[in-house]
């Protein structure tokens, strides 16, 4: 399918436009490239975008991370790029369609009921017309489904389901449809090979108040699974059905018009990791830190002539040697020189650059271990970086430390924390056009809510002890270089339980060649020295003698 | 009236309880002591409280500022004090009455329509019964109403009303009732002598879409004013009437059941000061700084044997000598030693203490000048303060500087800024139980929204260039001492207009005898030195030779 054929269909059906979101029936989850309609239609390969096609034009909406990338990838004569940093998709729609009885089409399997409700509220005169009625899961392989063992999860699925059924009963419901695949995976203690980086089992779970349940999934070896064409028949029979309209596709409401919007409690439950999970997460980060440090040592000796793809592959090879490693948690971003200024750059065969001398390499990567998910970014000097690079990296480090060392009351939400991180950059008139942090799943999505640290996430979920978050401020100079320093942290209660703070999980040196000590306060220097001491003491027994010498130097006090 | 007679009435009418708020028909504005029903019933004299009386008990709800004071003032055998820091009034009501068909009474002239709607939503089974039907403005004097001249306001009332009428028309309304007295005062460019500290004209203004208007007020020499008993007759005739339910008392809806809730746009307009107002505000702060510095010099020579009331009176005598001075902007808080630990302490003849040696004096005061309202707190060493006092004062100063020097994006709201101020205290396990800042009116309320800086003000109004705010972190050690450092700031657009920052208005030295330089970063020391240089250069030509020598020393670099 291409834009022209969509436009032909629009004209034939007398429609004013069609909305494309980047997703499948598992709203907000990762998708396979073959499921990506926006990629198919525009060639834009980023992980977030919206596309609106009218009979004569096409508009691609991208955020700050992807503005440069979109310009490079799409046919600008056919597609106009709209910057979400300047106007939201909703504002744009409102400006163009609020006063007309527009006829707009959408795929009811890939737009959530909440999104549809919001669209209708936004454009009360418009008519929204569903145009596809089958889900679009295009796995070509037979997906393997496997158990996430109790030694990792701490709780068996049977107990999770029993407790969830009690919750359903308390709500006065007959049944609840879990549509968020990561929630289904958590509830069933099942994972799968469907996606390359996110081991979730892409399934809906229909749980009845008595604790019986049915699993809906396709293309997989999970034999009890029912196919999605049975969904309508199973949902129709309940008088009191609940589902979370933020993750339930709009089609669900056509299967059961009485379905009530009840936020899925699993979203909050699974975000707070239990003691077994936390122990695993710490261990996984230790192993990940070993792999990363071995890689950094290797890089220090071997960067000459290596490409971005070379180093990403080398890092993966180190991770693969570690216990419980399953896969990367996302496609490694290894950006050298100006490529690193593209926030979510992924080296392709065309773009793949040899590491630029006297510049920086930004490497953002992570692992899915059965006992934890990691995500870490280091910016590493290659040769002699410029004073500008060192200054900006030091400011980003100040931002990182400002938030990593923050103490904040219970009930604080992410937008309140974001400003703390950005202060050191704001003071110099600098900023970064992405969030400061995201929640992290447990052998699940590397980006997993409900909490996130973003100035745009007003009224986002409150932080609770046991949650995991990234802290990842950055700085990007177009056509020059890019910097990001990212660690994962666990949220912990203070001695005074009214307050929370962050405890670091990620264990890998932060490159001192990119730090101007004169720009740091004593407290900041102490933070870095303490962190490096912890990294060194944690990793030292897992390294070779040469690696250890390198680490000792990398972790020596400033 | 006393609690027992209220209880008798409740029993006679078979009511389960009565809600008393601290206010009159001008919701959220200052009131006269004789209008204060909570004072009358409980003897609690603080500026904020809620009272709930049942046939057998009475509950007084107070916030962190007033916990100590309430304990001292009320009869604890009759009144139970409930801490709002532990439970909100609404949560408390919900816990006690959500499941009962309680009959609860209230005065419809002093509870806003929004508050009543929220109460009904909170307690859907309860019945809310209005029990008084006349307003309660008890001025015993004839109030003088006077014009706030154009040379101060920048705009004449005629133009403000014409532009407001256009707004009413745009909204599709026939008329709008302004019930917020500070908005009425702004719209009419009128002020009055009704209140000792807040020069607002306590009036409602009914503006029609064609620009004609009527003023409702009582006990005053404003001859065109209609009395409030005419309100019903005038409001009843409109098909499309608007009012702001946050400031319109519930009785308005009984006068016109079709009245629509439309936020009063004047609230936002008057918060953003115009160029004439801002020039005046700067000048007023200069004069206020002169008065305060003269006072501080006098205090340094004369503190021995002086009482809290003595110093408050002396400070007032200095302010009275300044041009355009009208009154204090609130009753000066002068707290010595442990009295300063009571956040909103006011010395009475009973409590009035001689200044304690080797302690601190906290003095929070302000002036109403025709060209601006001031509000400033200084904590001043008397004799040799303890190391603990110096440490805590330095931490409070760090808090102050952290926020005063912040740079933040447009659309930032107060709860997002609050955490920045509290970080230095949180880091030491300390906190203060009051907001960090409040908006300030222009020859109007010293506390005037919509913006305020508080962790509790989630989703409060966004900051805009031209707004005025206080920054006033503190620290209070019960039975020992209290510290607060407060300046007013104007919100200013940065060079990069996406960002805002604060520009200081208050000009008075911060006591260096209470600062431990070793606890400050270089940036913090620079901030203080720059501020002191600005204070010195601004004030120097208005002082006597001795005062100048004192100021030069007080403002010398750390």
Query: Using one digit for the tens of pLDDT, what is the confidence trace for A490-533?
Result: 999 998 989 999 999 999 999 999 999 999 999 999 999 999 99
Least confident of A212-216, B27-31, B531-535, B541-545: B27-31
Cis amide linkage into residue A147, ω under 30° from 0: no
Residues facing B377 on adjacent strands = B364, B486
Minimum CA–CA partner of B422 in chain A: A408
Q: How is residue A240 written in tokens?
A: 């009191």
Confidence of residue B34 (pLDDT cuts 50, 70, 90): confident
Least confident of A25-29, A403-407, B199-203, B321-325: A25-29
Residues B421-453 pLDDT 10s: 999 999 999 999 899 999 999 999 999 989 899
Residues A240-291 pLDDT 10s: 999 999 999 999 999 999 999 999 999 999 999 999 999 999 999 999 999 9
- In angstroms, rounded to a whole number, what is the distance separating the alpha carbons of residues A379 and A340? 9
Q: For residue B133, is pLDDT > 90? A: no
CA angle (A87, B413, B399) in 5-degree steps: 135
Contact between chains at B418 and A416 (C-beta distance less than 8 A) = yes
Residues B152-174 pLDDT 10s: 999 999 999 999 999 999 999 99
CA angle (A460, A461, A466) in 5-degree steps: 145
Q: For residue A348, is pLDDT > 80? A: yes
- In angstroms, rounded to a whole number, what is the distance separating the alpha carbons of residues B288 and B265? 31
Q: Judging by DSSP bridges, how do beta strands B241-243 and B260-261 pair with one another?
A: parallel
Q: What confidence score (pLDDT) does residue B138 get?
A: 65
Most A CBs within 10 A among B426, B459, B497, hence the mutation to make, goes to B426
Q: For residue A313, is pLDDT > 90? A: yes
Dihedral pair phi/psi, residue A336, rounded to 5°: -110, 140
Q: What confidence score (pLDDT) does residue A20 get?
A: 95
Query: Do residues B182 and B270 lie in contact, with contact meaning Cβ atoms separated by under 8 Å?
Result: yes
Element housing B333 (H / E): strand B333-336
Q: Work out the burial of residue A25: count CB atoms within 10 Å of its CB; fewer than 13 is exposed, 13-18 middle, 19 or more buried.
A: buried
Residues facing B481 on adjacent strands = B477
Residues of chain B with Cβ-Cβ distance to A406 below 8 Å are: 419, 423, 426
Residues of chain A with Cβ-Cβ distance to B408 below 8 Å are: 419, 426
What is the average pLDDT value for chain B, to the nearest integer?
95
Q: How many CB atoms lie within 10 A of CB A441?
A: 24
Chain Cα centroid distance, residue B125: 35
Residues of chain B with Cβ-Cβ distance to A420 below 8 Å are: 419-420, 423
Most B CBs within 10 A among A408, A426, A522, hence the mutation to make, goes to A426
* Alpha-carbon distance A362 to nearest alpha carbon in chain B (angstroms): 27
Q: How many CB atoms lie within 10 A of CB B492?
A: 14
Q: How is residue A77 written in tokens?
A: 């004569």
How many residue contacts between A and B have a Cβ separation below 8 Å?
Answer: 59
Contact between chains at B423 and A418 (C-beta distance less than 8 A) = no
Residues A388-439 pLDDT 10s: 999 999 999 999 999 999 999 998 988 889 999 999 999 999 999 899 999 9
DSSP secondary structure code for residue A208 in this structure? E
- In angstroms, rounded to a whole number, what is the distance separating the alpha carbons of residues A359 and A338? 9
- In angstroms, rounded to a whole number, what is the distance separating the alpha carbons of residues A436 and B41? 51
Q: How is residue B439 written in tokens?
A: 């908006």
Minimum CA–CA partner of B498 in chain A: A429
Residues A522-547 pLDDT 10s: 999 999 999 999 999 999 999 999 99
Residues facing A504 on adjacent strands = A489
- In angstroms, rounded to a whole number, what is the distance separating the alpha carbons of residues B101 and A288? 60
DSSP secondary structure code for residue A36 in this structure? -
- In angstroms, rounded to a whole number, what is the distance separating the alpha carbons of residues A290 and A386? 29
- In angstroms, rounded to a whole number, what is the distance separating the alpha carbons of residues B53 and B61? 11
- Of chain B, the percentage scoring pLDDT greater than 70 comes to 99
Q: Is the ipTM of this complex over 0.90?
A: no
- For residue A79, give every residue at least 6 positions away whose Cβ sits within 8 Å of its Cβ, in sequence order, or none: A3, A42, A58, A59, A60
Residue A192 Ramachandran class (φ > 0 left, ψ -120 to 50 alpha, else beta) = beta
Q: How is residue A294 written in tokens?
A: 């071995």
Residue B25, CA distances (Å) to A7, A333, B29, B180, B181 in order: 61, 62, 9, 9, 10
Cα dihedral B270, B276, B280, B282 in deg (nearest 10): 90
Dihedral pair phi/psi, residue A133, rounded to 5°: -130, 20
When CB atoms are compared, the residue of A405, A409, A499 closest to B455 is A409
Q: How many CB atoms lie within 10 A of CB A529?
A: 14
Query: SS3 string of A460-524?
Result: CCECCCCCEEEECCEEEECCCEEEECEEEEEEEECCCCCEEEEEECCCCCCCHHHCCHHHCCHHH
Can you list the positions of beta strands (E) in A124-240?
A: 127-130, 145-147, 175-178, 190-192, 204-208, 213-216
Contact between chains at B423 and A406 (C-beta distance less than 8 A) = yes
- For residue A473, give every residue at least 6 positions away whose Cβ sits within 8 Å of its Cβ, in sequence order, or none: A396, A399, A400, A403, A421, A422, A425, A432, A436, A484, A485
Query: Do residues A425 and A395 lie in contact, with contact meaning Cβ atoms separated by under 8 Å?
Result: yes
Q: Judging by DSSP bridges, how do beta strands B58-62 and B79-83 pair with one another?
A: parallel
- Of chain A, the percentage scoring pLDDT greater than 90 comes to 88
Residues B229-267 pLDDT 10s: 999 999 999 999 999 999 999 999 999 999 999 999 999
Q: What confidence score (pLDDT) does residue A65 get?
A: 79
Question: Which among A519, A251, A418, A502 is positioned nearest to B416, based on CA atoms?
Answer: A418
Q: Work out the burial of residue A33: count CB atoms within 10 Å of its CB; fewer than 13 is exposed, 13-18 middle, 19 or more buried.
A: exposed
Q: What confidence score (pLDDT) does residue A139 get?
A: 66
Query: Do residues A256 and A117 lie in contact, with contact meaning Cβ atoms separated by under 8 Å?
Result: no
Dihedral pair phi/psi, residue A335, rounded to 5°: -120, 125
When CB atoms are compared, the residue of B415, B494, B499 closest to A416 is B415
Q: What confidence score (pLDDT) does residue B329 get?
A: 98
Confidence of residue A350 (pLDDT cuts 50, 70, 90): confident
- In angstroms, rounded to a whole number, what is the distance separating the alpha carbons of residues B341 and B338? 5
Rg (CA), chain A: 24
Contact between chains at A408 and B426 (C-beta distance less than 8 A) = yes
Question: Which among A356, A331, A366, A301 is positioned nearest to A481, based on CA atoms?
Answer: A356
Q: How is residue B71 written in tokens?
A: 């304990």
Contact between chains at B423 and A407 (C-beta distance less than 8 A) = yes
Per the listing, tokens 């680490």 go with A551
- Of chain A, the percentage scoring pLDDT greater than 70 comes to 99
Element housing B277 (H / E): helix B275-302
Minimum CA–CA partner of A413 in chain B: B416
Q: What confidence score (pLDDT) does residue A135 get?
A: 67
Q: What confidence score (pLDDT) does residue B255 get?
A: 96
Residue B92, CA distances (Å) to A217, B18, B22, B177 in order: 47, 14, 18, 33
Handedness of CA A81, A82, A83, A86 (dihedral sign): positive
- The 8 Å CB, 24+ separation contacts for A311-319 are A311/A355, A311/A361, A311/A363, A312/A347, A312/A363, A312/A365, A315/A291, A315/A363, A315/A365, A318/A291, A318/A292, A318/A294, A319/A288, A319/A291, A319/A367
Query: SS3 string of A322-350?
Result: CCCEEEECCCCEEEEHHHHHCCCCCCCCC
When CB atoms are compared, the residue of A416, A455, A459 closest to B419 is A416
Handedness of CA A22, A24, A26, A32 (dihedral sign): negative
Residue A415, CA distances (Å) to A269, A474, B205, B419 in order: 21, 17, 39, 11
Q: How many CB atoms lie within 10 A of CB B117?
A: 14
Q: How many CB atoms lie within 10 A of CB A258?
A: 10
Q: What is the pTM of this model?
A: 0.89
Q: For residue A342, is pLDDT > 90? A: no
Q: For residue A122, is pLDDT > 80? A: yes
When CB atoms are compared, the residue of A455, A495, A496 closest to B409 is A455
Helices vs. strands in chain A: H and E counts, helices first: 17, 27
Cis amide linkage into residue A369, ω under 30° from 0: no
Q: For residue A548, is pLDDT > 80? A: yes
- In angstroms, rounded to a whole number, what is the distance separating the alpha carbons of residues B175 and B400? 44
């Amino acid at each position: 399918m291409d834009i022209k054929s969509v436009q032909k269909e629009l004209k034939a059906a007398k429609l004013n436009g069609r909305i494309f979101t980047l997703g499948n029936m598992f709203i907000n989850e990762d998708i396979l490239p073959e499921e990506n309609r926006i990629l198919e239609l525009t060639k834009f390969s980023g992980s977030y975008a919206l596309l609106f096609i009218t009979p004569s034009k096409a508009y691609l909406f991208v955020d700050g991370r992807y503005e440069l990338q979109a310009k490079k990838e799409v046919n600008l004569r056919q597609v106009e790029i709209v910057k979400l940093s300047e106007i939201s998709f909703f504002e744009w729609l409102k400006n163009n369609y609020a006063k007309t009885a527009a006829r707009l089409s959408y795929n009811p399997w890939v737009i959530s009921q909440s999104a549809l409700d919001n669209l209708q509220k936004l454009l009360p005169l418009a008519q929204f017309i569903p145009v596809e009625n089958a889900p679009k899961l295009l796995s070509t392989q037979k997906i393997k489904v496997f158990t996430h063992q109790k030694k990792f999860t701490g709780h068996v699925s049977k107990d999770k389901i029993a407790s969830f059924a009690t919750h359903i009963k308390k709500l006065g419901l007959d049944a609840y449809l879990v549509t968020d695949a990561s929630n289904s995976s958590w509830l069933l203690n099942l994972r799968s090979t469907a996606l390359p980086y996110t081991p979730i089992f892409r399934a809906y779970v229909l749980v009845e108040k008595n604790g019986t349940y049915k699993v809906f999934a396709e293309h997989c070896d999970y034999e009890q699974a029912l196919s999605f064409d049975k969904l309508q028949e199973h949902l129709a029979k309940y008088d009191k059905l609940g589902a979370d309209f933020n993750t339930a596709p709009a089609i669900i409401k056509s299967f059961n018009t009485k379905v009530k919007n009840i936020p899925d409690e699993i979203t909050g439950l699974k975000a707070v990791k239990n003691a077994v999970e936390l122990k695993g997460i710490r261990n996984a980060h230790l192993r990940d830190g070993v792999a990363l440090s071995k890689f950094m040592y290797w890089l220090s000796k071997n960067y000459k002539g290596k490409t971005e793809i070379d180093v990403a592959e080398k890092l993966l090879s180190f991770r693969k040697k570690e216990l419980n490693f399953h896969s990367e948690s996302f496609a490694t971003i290894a950006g050298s020189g100006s490529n690193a200024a593209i926030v979510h750059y992924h080296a392709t065969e065309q773009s793949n650059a040899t590491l630029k001398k006297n510049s920086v390499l930004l490497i953002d990567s992570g692992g899915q271990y059965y006992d934890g998910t990691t995500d870490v970014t280091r910016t590493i000097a290659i040769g002699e970086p410029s004073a500008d690079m060192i200054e900006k990296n030091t400011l980003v480090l100040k931002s990182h430390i400002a938030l990593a060392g923050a103490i904040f009351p219970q009930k604080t939400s992410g937008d309140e924390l974001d400003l703390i991180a950005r202060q050191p950059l704001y003071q110099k008139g600098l900023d970064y056009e992405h969030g400061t942090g995201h929640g992290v799943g447990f052998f699940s999505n590397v980006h997993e809510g409900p909490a996130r640290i973003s100035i745009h996430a007003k009224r986002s979920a409150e932080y609770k002890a046991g949650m995991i978050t990234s802290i990842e401020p950055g700085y990007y100079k177009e056509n020059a270089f890019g910097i990001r320093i990212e660690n994962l942290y666990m949220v912990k209660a203070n001695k005074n339980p009214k307050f929370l703070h962050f405890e670091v999980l990620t264990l890998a040196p932060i490159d001192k060649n990119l730090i101007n000590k004169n720009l740091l306060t004593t407290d900041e220097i102490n933070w870095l020295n303490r962190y490096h001491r912890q990294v060194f003491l944690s990793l030292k027994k897992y390294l070779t003698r040469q690696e250890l010498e390198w680490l000792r130097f990398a972790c020596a006090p400033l």
